[in-house]
Amino acid sequence: MADSTDPSLPVDPLRSIASAGPDPSSASASSGIDSPTASARSKPDRPTEPPIAPTTELQFLKGVGPKRAELFARLGLRNARDLLFNFPRAYETLEPTTRPEDLVEKQPATIAGNVTLIETKISRSGMHILGIVIDCGSMKVRSTWFNQSFLRSKLAEGFRVLVSGKPRLEGVRWAFVNPKLIVLREDEPQPEGQILPVYRLTEGLAQHHVRRASQRALEACVDGIDEVMPQRLLDQWRIVDIRRALRGIHQPADADELAAARRRLVFQELVVLQLALAMRRRKLLAECRAPALPVDSVIDARIVRLFPFDLTEDQRRAIEEIAADMGRAVPMNRLLQGDVGVGKTIVAFYAMLLAVAHKHQAVLMAPTEILATQHLKGLRRLLSLAKIDVGVLTGSTSDAERKRTLAGIADGSIPLIVGTHALIQQPIPFDRLGLVIVDEQHKFGVKQRAMLRQAGIDPHYLVMTATPIPRTMTMTAFGDLDVSTLRHGPPNRQPLHTYLGNAEQRDKWWTFFRKKLDEGRQGYVITPLVDDADDGNLTSVKTAFENLTNDVLADYRVDLLHGRQSAVEKGDAMFRFATGETQVLVSTSVVEVGVDVPNATVMTIESAERFGLSQLHQLRGRVARGNHPGYVCAFAEIGNEQAQQRLDAFVGTTDGFELAEIDFRLRGPGDLLGTRQSGLPPLRIADLIRDAEVVAEAREGAIRLLEHDKDLTSPDCERLRRQVLVRYGKVLELGDVG
């Protein structure tokens, strides 16, 4: 610890206060991944305590200074403690190095040396070429990168680097082309096999700056970080203490140490989330009241009699779960998930009719007018014999009609209301609202909920989604939602065939497409854009429409649908297609969600590489709904490996759950739709896919802990509890848990 007695170090401004004794605010300072405060307490029995406390500002850390501290601040790093909880985003392992004289042509090797020359040029074909010469002591080695101009900023003459790849002899000199590059500091030692942390950077801050500062912070004040977990929990959960975890995450001696450190930090992050969610759930149970709308055999028979088909086993089970929730005087908070076409709508209708049976109102909100209209028609058809009025509120509802509908809602004469999500942008004067259903959306925000609360009574909530959410997600980002899943669709479903077409197969495909139309079926043609793109590579929906109607589909009734049309135009196009007046709908992905035209069985997808995996799957769900097999052909310009993997997965399986997992994996945790939509702060280290097992363990751990200590008030959990409140108290409104 070179710094500990460095006389040049400025005096830590906090130290004099800190060493006066444990101050009350520091009792809560802790190994909190989020705790904004930190322990500034030095241990009086250790006179050689370094003058760096967790709260020491970074400018006072040796080798940082005020200028660089500003750069750190841009990353949100202000004090030593922030550095300790700034976890590496990756690691680099220093491979054993080879002496240049031992290199063998094309045999993988790593060499170390100092950069003596850096050259960049642009080739005649426009390629960026970066070349460096590395002095390895006994000889010089050349290394060249093509089109990796970003590497330039990492390098400077004199820097020590490691270069890994397959060497080639160029004349008398060894050369590497596009090797892996690790930049070390000039004087950084490089023991073989060492694992180096890789941190997030900002312009002007080099990797070794952050590494260096993090090491210093670690050496100087890791012992000043308090443990939030009581020993019994560390033992029970088999996790290492916080100091070992912090050392292991920033400076792992080996892979095992790193794994143990990571496990501790991931577990902590997830267990804190799970504790927060469980505490919130308890609070809701205690505080929120909803109308109890139980089902009985008479009501059930009355509802089911209206249905044109028998319910599947899955639908039955989901209905039982929903009805059980609605029977309690606590608001239901449930997610109904199931692949496209699996039959969620009828389950939703059941729940709505259950509310009506108890003289309560039910609202169904859809993401688009097309879907709202479809639901409206579905409900009216179902209720054609029953005397139950269905009101509709969308953007294109006329003022007069809106007024009439609102009056009916207010006096209770309209028990069922269908609308778009925009429906609740303004307060609606419900008479007795019992149930709110949100279709094709994952989350229903706290604010929206507040608008629907009436005199302290909440309605029940049901959210439906066709994007299957992996189990780990429903347990975390969706941890406060109960889940019902429809896994299997109605019986006698026809198979769905998906093909990836290339240019030569186009004629054959269109012949097939026309044959299906001639047999009486209908079809979709999907393109990603409304207007032609500047680069001219992609076909827009308008161009596709023109081309098709002048060529392969000249003899058929073809219509156009896209998001820039007015609601009326869209509605008309949908109506003509649903009634069979038009045979082919050329459309953008606006038909993606929920549209149900069972007679449509063929689909062409153009520029399929432009769509995400879930979106592709949603799209093809449009042609897998009737009594005829469905056929989808995706034409794609595959530009990269990810697109290839996506499309392979798309043709490889029709299981939406499997696809969702693949999609999450391909897109990476940063892009998980759920965490962002949930409104919870992002996770810092846990990865809901990679750490799936820990998610389950943490959930179990949290539930078990609260079983014996329902508010987490046992004295040895004080710090853990504080951490739950600091991180989630506000967003989850846990404020007054105690």
When asked if residue 570 is in the footprint of ligand ADP (CB under 6 A), the reply is no
When asked if residue 338 is in the footprint of ligand ADP (CB under 6 A), the reply is yes
When asked if residue 625 is in the footprint of ligand ADP (CB under 6 A), the reply is yes
Residue 310: CB minimum distance to ligand ADP, A: 6
> Where in 281-310 is the site for ligand ADP (CB under 6 A)?
309-310
3-state helix, strand, coil in the chain (%, to 5): 40, 20, 40
Which of 52/578 has CB closer to Mg ion? 578
Residue 596: CB minimum distance to Mg ion, A: 7
Instruction: Tell me the window of 130-138, 194-202, 208-216, 334-342 that interacts with ligand ADP (CB under 6 A).
Output: 334-342
When asked if residue 468 is in the footprint of ligand ADP (CB under 6 A), the reply is no
When asked if residue 41 is in the footprint of ligand ADP (CB under 6 A), the reply is no
Q: Which does 54 bind (CB under 5 to 8 A by kind): ligand ADP, Mg ion, none?
A: none
DSSP code, position 353: H
Torsion sign (Cα): 33, 37, 38, 43 = negative
Residue 250 has which token pair?
Answer: 């920033």
Three-point CA angle 295, 297, 303, nearest 5°: 75
Asked if 392 and 404 count as a contact pair (C-beta separation under 8 A), the reply is no
Instruction: Provide the 3-class DSSP secondary structure of residue 619.
Output: helix
Instruction: Tell me the window of 105-113, 518-526, 588-596, 725-733 that interacts with Mg ion (CB under 5 A).
Output: 588-596
Count CA within 13 A, CB hemisphere, residue 655.
Answer: 8
List strand residue ranges (DSSP E) for 123-199, in order.
128-135, 140-146, 160-165, 168-170, 173-177, 180-184, 195-198
392-to-396, 411, 563, 577, 587 alpha-carbon distances in Å: 10, 16, 21, 22, 25
When asked if residue 341 is in the footprint of ligand ADP (CB under 6 A), the reply is yes
Residue with tokens 């009355």: 302
**What is the per-residue binding string for ligand ADP in 522-541, x denoting contact by CB under 6 A?**
--------------------
CA distance 265 to 184: 27
Residue 466: CB minimum distance to ligand ADP, A: 5
Q: Which does 674 bind (CB under 5 to 8 A by kind): Mg ion, ligand ADP, none?
A: none
Asked if 536 and 543 count as a contact pair (C-beta separation under 8 A), the reply is no
Residue 641: CB minimum distance to ligand ADP, A: 31
Pairing of strands 433-438, 460-465: parallel
Three-point CA angle 309, 343, 565, nearest 5°: 115
When asked if residue 459 is in the footprint of Mg ion (CB under 5 A), the reply is no
Instruction: Tell me the window of 102-110, 172-180, 592-600, 655-663 that interacts with Mg ion (CB under 5 A).
Output: 592-600
> Where in 593-612 is the site for ligand ADP (CB under 6 A)?
594, 596, 598
Number of residues in contact with ligand ADP under rule CB under 6 A: 19
CA distance 295 to 355: 9
Residue 460: CB minimum distance to ligand ADP, A: 19
When asked if residue 338 is in the footprint of Mg ion (CB under 5 A), the reply is no
Pairing of strands 522-526, 390-393: unpaired
Q: Which does 678 bind (CB under 5 to 8 A by kind): Mg ion, ligand ADP, none?
A: none
Q: Which does 625 bind (CB under 5 to 8 A by kind): ligand ADP, Mg ion, none?
A: ligand ADP
Residue 594: CB minimum distance to Mg ion, A: 4
When asked if residue 312 is in the footprint of ligand ADP (CB under 6 A), the reply is yes
Residue 131 has which token pair?
Answer: 């070349």
CA distance 441 to 729: 25
**What is the per-residue binding string for ligand ADP in 343-372, x denoting contact by CB under 6 A?**
xxxx--------------------------
> Residues in the chain, how many?
738
Query: Based on C-alpha coordinates, what's the Rg of the chain?
Result: 31
Instruction: Tell me the window of 7-15, 82-90, 132-140, 589-597 that interacts with Mg ion (CB under 5 A).
Output: 589-597
When asked if residue 466 is in the footprint of ligand ADP (CB under 6 A), the reply is yes
Residue 620: CB minimum distance to ligand ADP, A: 12
When asked if residue 594 is in the footprint of Mg ion (CB under 5 A), the reply is yes
Burial classification of residue 175, based on how many CB atoms lie within 10 Å of its CB (0-12 exposed, 13-18 middle, 19 or more buried) = middle
List strand residue ranges (DSSP E) for 238-314, in order.
none
When asked if residue 375 is in the footprint of ligand ADP (CB under 6 A), the reply is no
Q: Which residues bind ligand ADP (CB under 6 A)?
A: 309-312, 315, 338, 340-346, 466, 490, 594, 596, 598, 625
Q: Which residues bind Mg ion (CB under 5 A)?
A: 594
